[in-house]
Chains A and B, each alone.
Chain A
């Protein structure tokens, strides 16, 4: 499934919810399934600034594909990261670098989160793309 197809799937999953609390319920259940970062990486080195809750994120390259693991102390945040990893994990770095994440707007995440919270979301996507860039550059050199 391409990045675009995965995003379209998420958008249609969210279309069935007409209440924000149902969306949060869904995010909570997703949060509980997030591929958790190895606890030894829950350090300042992997923390993302710009979020109201704490977020740790790490990317590894396995067989040429990026694998994201993450954690947060807030469950709804974990749900949001889990959507991001579903879209961006298991992809080649170049794909992640060039991805256009339109699903965030379409499922109302950006508009329904205040600017400070949206900044957190922005910080997360930026960090994921930075990881992709770093691995991409390394691949080119290698």
Chain B
């Protein structure tokens, strides 16, 4: 186990990125040593092996989120890449001046900025629906936000700061009543519970590999086949084409149409291994354990006088954002760091949420299944120390 400043590290920054199981690291290393070759390119043995592994990875992802077909699984660079892809492709095809794009007030910057850029390109407008003090989306206001001009809705499955699990299924149903498609940002959801895109009925679902025990630089865009067929590709290059002449190029079939250039096939294989690993433990078992850890941590932290938690929704994943007295999050974070405790400090790419609560930032402890109650106790002791130093 990694030690920092001579102490075994308590890693509570899993919302930013998770640590990688050995099996994932080994799979990547083994692939580079024994199978590495570009996919979909050569007739030779290694390329065949590599392509086979890459397409198996796509099937594993499909199965993990219960998509209907591997045509609906696009490998991207991450959740941010996936959202940008749709903001571009959907925007090119369907957004015109005066149209409206609807997002929630608790979005990560990655689910705000691509839409803002689209609105600027097309002279469209971005509409926001709010959340309440507990950190729960206001469904009534959401329902009231639809107009004839609403073209697409995008919101997060789970808030990266507040931990809230949003009622996505019901919200998607409401959007579909207005014939408006929905993109879900699943970056903080995929690692904490089972995802079923068919049951949810979302049109697009985006997540990153590195937050779900997989490698960096790989992510997934799920899209319903009918949409992916209809939308134009967002990047041009090798592999995404069918026939290229200087006069006209025709595009490859799904899912390759959206995978221009040499793809991150090693990342995809790493992600597959991570999903296999999670499945071997059981995602529901992980969710149950994390829930009990969240309850323990919430109880323990609220017993500290002057500690305030931001995000107290009934349905939450194991993320706790908080402030202690009037102590600046940066001060507290520096001291916790020296005690070997890694938490996130600042705005968590979630400035509008900070503005809503009128704070410049918070501390955030984001826990996953490899964290323990003993580690929560160390955070508690660390915060008591912080309180004493700054009190």
Contact = CB atoms under 8 A, between A and B. Distances in A.
Q: Is the interface of A mostly helix, strand, loop or mixed?
A: helix
B328 A53 contact: yes
Interface string B338-377: 1100000110000000000000110000000000000000
Given A21-B389, A24-B335, A54-B360, A75 B5 contact: no
A41 B358 CA distance: 21
Nearest to A23: B338
Contacts of A28: 389-390
Given A24-B389, A28-B389, A76 B360 contact: no
Contacts of A77: 330-331
B117 interface: no
Interface in B228-246: none
Given A20-B5, A21-B389, A52-B345, A74 B338 contact: no
Contacts of A21: 335, 338-339, 385, 389
A66 B382 CA distance: 40
B334 interface: yes
Contacts of A53: 328, 330-331, 360
A63 interface: no
A116 B213 CA distance: 25
A76 B331 contact: yes
A73 interface: yes
Nearest to A51: B330
Given A73-B328, A75-B328, A75-B390, A24 B360 contact: no
B233 to A, nearest CB: 36
Interface in B40-54: none
Interface string B264-307: 00000000000000000000000000000000000000000000
Interface of B: 5, 328, 330-331, 334-335, 338-339, 345-346, 360-361, 385, 389-390
5 closest Cβ pairs, A-B complex: A74-B328, A74-B330, A20-B338, A53-B330, A52-B330
15 contacts: A21-B335, A21-B339, A21-B389, A24-B389, A25-B389, A28-B389, A52-B346, A53-B330, A54-B360, A73-B328, A74-B328, A74-B330, A75-B328, A75-B331, A77-B330
